[in-house]
Structure 1
Amino acid sequence: MAKAGYHHGNLRQALVEAALALIAEKGPQGFTLSEAAKEAGVTPAAVYRHFQGREDLLAEVARQGYAIFADLMEHAFNDGRPSALAAFEATGRAYLAFARRFPGHYMAMFESGLAPGAYPELAQAAQRSRAMMERAAARLSEQLPPGRRPPAAMFSAHVWAMSHGVVELFARGTPGAHAPFSPEDLLEAGIGIYLRGLGLLPPDR
């Protein structure tokens, strides 16, 4: 049966929603364009009016994911309020929240094997999310003397990698469901250790 969005002329978005459902079921590499068409309630030929192929469809899913992700990060950062540290920690929690709430987008972004540079709009959306994390890192590192400040891109990349690792190992399915600590606690502790190493937090007593 055709999706409601298709009846309203929004076939492109209906195909994105179909892809998200299939990604949740089979993973980003586990479905065909014909299956996406069937899920959306249209013929495979209709898909090509909007997407050149399955990779093009996945790129749009990932692009929308990065847009949502950047919006969440910007909201969590809250222009550095109430403090640079609190805002920075909030972006880490937002990463976990995004992976949980938008698993289909998350997998399209990070597990589809897409090269963002091959899709200009995807690359732009991905850069916006990276820039948001770099902004949070730069604001926090202003507390350090200029000679001791790590490059914001490196600082944010370290925390991004830590957040991604917590999501992959402890926040998604098995063995994540059986983690000895909550993902939030693991990430908070890891960020705390990292920031203490930089001198941005006092050492534990």
Structure 2
Amino acid sequence: MKILLKAAVAAAAFVAIPAAAQAQVATADLGAAVEQSAAMKAAQTQIQTQYKAQIDAFNARQQALAAELQPLQREIQTLQANSATPPATLQQKVTAYRTREQAAQRELAGLAAPFGRPSAYAQEQVADKVEPAVRAAMAAKNVSLLVRPEAVLLALPAGDLTADIVSQLNAQVKTVSITPPANWQPGQAKAGAAPAAATPAKPTGR
């Protein structure tokens, strides 16, 4: 379950500061910077410990559902490879598979909720500091334009500012809480900001 960060992270991906002599262009993976920050790593360690039973249950059920779905998927592939398969038969199998897959996803989402919400809350606290961390890292390296790695055709490792942003985050965010307020929902801290979902921490043991 990869993390989808809030609007603050996405917006910071194209931050620009006033140009200076020999200013540079750099890339940065802001999602990775948040995950690699010391505060986020500590929060994930806490979550893995505090919610171990729920995470183990999630992993066990995920594996069971995968084992259940794989034969159905293989059956569909076999039918697709056979030109004699009636289209109605194939469609029936595909529909049945998709229905079961969607039900499995809903079940797993429910099982992930207990540890997913604390992870999203911790993530949001770190993400709130991304923009100042980006600006500080850019200023320190005399970078005038920062872009996402996927927007670049070719870049040298020296042009990656991710590690510098992690260092800035570590300086600005020492710790974060993994106990969200009772009525907290991901993204609500940024009133009027573009909505973005936060995904639970990736469970271990898979």
Give the TM-score category using the shorter length: under 0.3
Larger RCO, structure (CA 8 Å, separation 6 or more):
2
Which is richer in strand? Answer: 2
Choose 1 or 2 for highest CA Rg.
2
Bigger helix share = 1
Q: What is the TM-score when the length of structure 2 is the normalising length?
A: 0.25
